[in-house]
Structure 1
Amino acid sequence: MTTSTADREQLASFLMTLRSDDGIGARVMTVVEAVPRRLFVGPDIADIFADQSLPLECGQTMPSARAAVRLAGALRVQPESRILEIGTGSGYVTALLARLGLHVTTLDRYKTLLTRAAERLKACGITNVTYIQEDGRDGYAGQAPFDRIVVHASFEALPRAFVEQMASQGILVTAIGAPGERQRIVRHQKLGSRFEEELLFDARLQPLERGVATLL
């Protein structure tokens, strides 16, 4: 895929802004540079790294580049990490995680989003991803435990199902808080029989919807 001069300039500027963000290490920066964001946002978006969410098919949205990268950084993915992602969306975060870890299992309730994300990742040469049409409300016990879990949605409290699907020393990142109220992205780390929780940054996400979409 050809990268325009404007896209390259925007990428260089974006990488400079990331240097001031906690948790964005050298591996994450390298992956951001390697994954062509233009492929995920479409040709009609002028500034592909603008700090705003963007519309997707099926009435969904994708996070801004900064939010996406901060989520990837918050997971502290290791090369051997097995990752569960709930909410594939465009596949941009999926691509970042797949470059960082061993394997990604990504779930979405919309077949259209899964299919198009798979096409984009294939164009990037990324093959270590399994795509599953599920709503993700109960995680994905069939391939648990996972070293890393990211949920692109909000919960008022962390569901027990996700806790049980985390490996020892595992990390889960999601938004905690009621819809319409202040939410925070929280990193949960499983340490034996206890959890450490760290508040990271503000978010505004919706709860997961129930069931898979039958038409889209």
Structure 2
Amino acid sequence: MSDTPETDAERKMQFLYALRSKGVTDKRVLGAMEAIDRGPFVRGLFADRAYEDMPLPIACGQTISQPSVVGLMSQALNITSRDKVLEVGTGSGYQAAILSKLARRVYTIDRHRRLVREARDIFDHLDLTNITAITGDGSFGLPDQAPFDRIIVTAAAEDPPGPLLAQLKMGGIMVVPVGQSDAVQSLIKVHKTESGLEYSELRDVRFVPLLEGLGKDG
């Protein structure tokens, strides 16, 4: 039986309340997360948990991040409507869809061809025309499209990857989880300035590791 509009509205209100209670307060980010339904990005057994603030399994051994982490990472990027953004780790496509409502252009890259194909289908269905999804080794970024105003990495590296830092514009911001893949990592914000790189620690997180090369389906 389908949900009534009342329960849909109530669910969305609870979803946004949960985001705000976790520290997502930026109005543009909240607006983007209200506009992009997480439902289509969660498939199979976990579809009915799409509106809970928790990470969920997706194909290829990957996960879709919990909405509050997506919101906090988006907020930390401080994206303007003129920005060109690179996302490393397309996954379900949910983070890229949120970014598409904030930025001028989003490039997203993933090592798993299946994930990129499925994400493209959702982007097309939602008419998100400012996202380019690419299968490739995201640890090397996208030199052909560099430099980027903002870079977001949705997999954990031991250090902020040098090739990605090199593709970040002066004055740009990168948000990346840093730490061993089997331990709690720190979400780091890197600001590229004339005098060097400024690092700030945002919170503890847990992400899949950033791996080189293509996935077996890539």
The question of a shared fold, defined as TM-score above 0.5 by the shorter chain, is answered with yes
Of 177, 180, 189, which aligns to 1:178? 180
SS at match of 2:96: helix
Decide which structure has greater helix share: 2
SS at match of 2:21: coil
Residue 122 of structure 1 is matched in structure 2 by 124
SS at match of 1:181: coil
Unaligned runs of 5+ in 2: none
Partner Cα separation in structure 1 for residue 113 and residue 190 of structure 2: 29
Equivalent pair of 2:63/2:91 in contact (CA under 8 Å)? yes
Equivalent pair of 1:40/1:91 in contact (CA under 8 Å)? yes
Equivalent pair of 2:18/2:53 in contact (CA under 8 Å)? no
Equivalent position amino acid for 1:210 in 2: E
Unaligned runs of 5+ in 1: none
Q: Please tell me whether residue 17 in structure 1 is matched to residue 33 in structure 2.
A: no
State the 1:178 CA deviation: 1.8
Identity among equivalent positions (%) equals 34
State the 1:7 CA deviation: 4.0
Equivalent pair of 2:24/2:68 in contact (CA under 8 Å)? no
Closer, same or farther: CA 4–74 of 1 in aligned 2, 3 Å: farther
SS at match of 1:190: strand
State the 1:19 CA deviation: 2.4
State the 1:106 CA deviation: 0.5
Equivalent pair of 2:106/2:130 in contact (CA under 8 Å)? yes
Partner Cα separation in structure 2 for residue 10 and residue 121 of structure 1: 23
Residue 99 of structure 1 is matched in structure 2 by 101
- Aligned positions of 1:17-96 closer than 5 A: 17-22=18-23, 24-42=25-43, 44=45, 45-96=47-98
State the 1:80 CA deviation: 0.5
79-88 or 42-51: bigger deviation: 42-51
Partner Cα separation in structure 2 for residue 99 and residue 18 of structure 1: 17
State the 1:179 CA deviation: 2.4
TM-score for the superposition, normalised by structure 1: 0.92
Partner Cα separation in structure 2 for residue 147 and residue 4 of structure 1: 41
Partner Cα separation in structure 2 for residue 3 and residue 169 of structure 1: 46
State the 1:206 CA deviation: 3.0
State the 1:11 CA deviation: 1.6
State the 1:20 CA deviation: 3.5
